Amino acid sequence: MQEIVTVAQGRLRGRVEDGVAAFLGIPYAAAPVGPLRFAAPQPPTAWDGVRDATAFGPTAPKPPYRAPLDEILPDPVIPGDDWLTVNVWTAAEPGESRPVMVWIHGGAFVNGSAAVPAYDGSAFARDGVVLVSMNYRLGVEGFALLPDAPANRGLLDQIAALAWVRDNVAAFGGDPDQVTVFGESAGAMSVTTLLTMPAAAGLFHRAITQSGSVQAAATPADARLVLGVLGELLGGPVTAAELAAVDSETLIDAQRQISAEVSAGADPARYGASIAAANMAFIPVVDGDSLPLHPMLAIADGVGAGVPLLTGTTAEEYRLFLVPTGIASFVNDEALNHLAGRLGAGEEILRLYRANRPGATPGDLLSAVLTDVFFRFPALAVATARLVTGATTYFYEFAVPSSARGLGACHAAEIGYVFDNLAAAAELSGSDAPQLIADAMHSSWVRFARTGDPGWPAHDDAYPIMVFGLPEPRVEWDVRGEERLAWAR
């Protein structure tokens, strides 16, 4: 691979280091500013000469993470307008056409970017994969349902990035007919949604969802309720035309107030049931056009059945949200019974959770209940629905507890393992994260990208699950199945 490559818009100069060529900050769409701020993504402008592609481009407008998550989740801010960009890592040596993996970052649809250090694609490039990452519009600009703008602009950005990959990845040694799209959290919810969007059909051939599935899909009526609250905060009607005069900082401040209210427990009368269930305010909307059906209904109808799916969760997702904040330590039995009961966990379920976790505190048990309700059960529902339609799905669980801050096997703790980039993810994974698990997860993801088979049995009625845990990864059947069945009863 030369340091200079040619794509549809012009020539690019990247950097080569340790056998990996990296090309960063490549526009896949025009800058979403001015009249394009709330428009569907438009083609990028061509350039003359050689464009420097040795540094990440600007990041999308976003708020900082709230403390203490801001100390745990790196979220770089790079100023500038031209932030609908992709980054490409590929082997520097020429060779046969390579499988492509396209990463969609998480961040609850309001945070994150492709510039997070843990997302460096060098290990994938080292192992014969062309790794692409992307930025997309977030928050109000990406997901608010405006009456005079296309819905799901953030998802349309993702589709535009995938189309750019189809048209240009061969220049980097990638095979456009062997593309795997993968993401974590909101990125994984995006992947699940893309699986059912007509405009995304044919742009990827395999999919991986890490800690995210069908949790985020708002009805238009509920999305309009969110818009009404936004109008209250901004003091006027909320349309793309009106918002064009509102600066990003003001918009993000209002967005942050809404997000905080929703994450603290949205009132369904104020925000609607679909927003309350998602626990996020700015999410994909089932608009009947770009997203014709709720992803769960579409999957049950067989949409996306021809795309092999690798899906799963961490064993203790909710510890990220309960432990560093101190919430877990304040939960007592009374609070546990109340909060778990609101989610449908009665005495029988809590008794079973306690028996399976000797010595667990009420905060630990609440985390386990929330992990299942918001992450594990939705992922299993997708796998089971796909099984009925004949689709192939593989299920995993990440179960290595982090030594950092008592986080356990929490949300996002697996990312450094998947990218074989543990040093960059030490705030989450701990400084002593076992390399053997990174070797296993990373190689499974690479194998899936090459073959559509990560190396363990596909999901069926026996519930085979690859558990990436110590002392070594192993296949288990129906992990905590008695708890799953108790909820079903």
Pair 260, 185 in one domain:
no
Pair 153, 180 in one domain:
yes
Q: What is the pLDDT of residue 269?
A: 82
Pair 242, 295 in one domain:
no
Pair 257, 113 in one domain:
no
Rounded Cα gap, residues 104 and 192, in angstroms = 11
For residue 463, tell me if it sits in a domain.
Answer: no
Pair 24, 64 in one domain:
yes
Dihedral sign, Cα of residue 117, residue 123, residue 125, residue 129: negative
- The pLDDT mean for the chain works out to 95
Q: What is the pLDDT of residue 1?
A: 60
Please check the confidence at residue 304 and state whether its pLDDT lies above 80: yes
Looking at residue 61, which CATH number applies to its domain?
3.40.50.1820
For residue 409, tell me if it sits in a domain.
Answer: no
Q: Which two tokens mark 114?
A: 């492709």
Any residues with CB less than 8 A from the CB of 224 and at least 6 apart, and which?
Answer: 145
Rounded Cα gap, residues 407 and 403, in angstroms = 7
Average pLDDT of span 151-158: 98
For residue 162, tell me if it sits in a domain.
Answer: yes
- Bond before 471 cis per omega within 30 degrees: yes
Give percent of the chain with pLDDT exceeding 70: 100
Pair 64, 183 in one domain:
yes
Beta-bridged to residue 88, according to DSSP, are 23, 132
Apex CA 48: angle with CA 43 and CA 50, to 5°? Answer: 105
For residue 423, tell me if it sits in a domain.
Answer: no
8-state DSSP, 174 = E
Please check the confidence at residue 459 and state whether its pLDDT lies above 90: yes
Residue 245's domain comprises 220-278
Q: What is the pLDDT of residue 417?
A: 98
Average pLDDT of span 398-421: 96
Average pLDDT of span 32-56: 96
Instruction: Of 290, 324, 296, 333, give the one whose Cα is nearest residue 410.
Output: 324
pTM of the model: 0.97
Pair 114, 146 in one domain:
yes
From 300, 331, 349, give the residue that closes a domain. 300
Q: What is the pLDDT of residue 49?
A: 96
For residue 384, tell me if it sits in a domain.
Answer: no
Pair 33, 178 in one domain:
yes
Whole-Å CA distances, 368 to 324, 354, 462? 16, 10, 22
For residue 473, tell me if it sits in a domain.
Answer: no
Average pLDDT of span 144-149: 96
In 71-94, which positions are buried (b, 16+ CB within 10 angstroms) versus exposed (e)?
Answer: ebbbbeeeeeebbbbbbbbbbbee
Q: What is the pLDDT of residue 236?
A: 83
- Bond before 68 cis per omega within 30 degrees: yes
Instruction: Answer for the pair 211, 411: CB distance below 8 angstroms, yes or no.
Output: yes
Give percent of the chain with pLDDT exceeding 90: 91
Q: What is the pLDDT of residue 207?
A: 98
Tens digits of per-residue pLDDT, 88-129?
Answer: 999 998 888 999 999 999 999 999 999 999 999 999 999 999
Pair 152, 211 in one domain:
yes
Pair 209, 260 in one domain:
no
Pair 12, 124 in one domain:
yes
Any residues with CB less than 8 A from the CB of 346 and at least 6 apart, and which?
Answer: none
Count of domains for the chain:
2
Tens digits of per-residue pLDDT, 351-405?
Answer: 999 999 999 999 999 999 999 999 999 999 999 999 999 999 999 999 999 999 9
Average pLDDT of span 412-440: 96
Instruction: Answer for the pair 80, 60: CB distance below 8 angstroms, yes or no.
Output: no
For residue 341, tell me if it sits in a domain.
Answer: no
Q: Which residues are catalytic?
A: 185, 317, 411
Rounded Cα gap, residues 145 and 240, in angstroms = 10
Q: Minimum mean pLDDT among 2-11, 202-211, 263-272, 291-300: which range?
A: 263-272
- Rounded to 10 deg, the angle between the 377-388 and 481-488 helix axes is 80
Tell me how crowded residue 149 is: count the other CB atoms within 10 A of its CB. Answer: 17
For residue 154, tell me if it sits in a domain.
Answer: yes
Pair 138, 194 in one domain:
yes
